[in-house]
Amino acid sequence: MKKTVIRTILLILFPIAAFAGDAMWAYISAAASIAFSTIAAGAAVGLVGSAAMGAIGEKPEISGKAIVFLGLAEGIAIYGLIIAILILGKV
């Protein structure tokens, strides 16, 4: 019953989903994985970047460490891409 309601809502919102079959859920999951991880990475880079610029303004010799933290924040988007590739590899 619950699955039917979800599919009906998706068909109303996205009529092309009628042609996707069972692979539809894999495509939606892959898209959601990339979308949410990219949003999270953007928020993380914004917060870490602003803090890093403030710290570099006070102490310029820590600029190398700040770039490492920015790279770690950007890795969130890479993880989402990897998950999406793994999901689409199963289809």
Task: Give the residue, 69 or 11, on which the prediction is more confident.
Answer: 69
Low-confidence winner among 10-14, 18-22, 31-35, 39-43 (lowest mean pLDDT)? 18-22
Task: Give the residue, 3 or 65, on which the prediction is more confident.
Answer: 65
Tokens representing residue 55 in the block: 């710290």
Residue 3 predicted with pLDDT over 70 = yes
Domains of the chain in start order, with CATH, are: 21-89 (1.20.20.10)
Read off the pLDDT band of 90 (50, 70, 90). confident
Whether 40 and 76 have beta carbons less than 8 Å apart is answered as yes
CA distance 11 to 55: 50
Q: What is the mean pLDDT of residues 3-21?
A: 72
Whether 26 and 87 have beta carbons less than 8 Å apart is answered as yes
Residue 30 predicted with pLDDT over 70 = yes
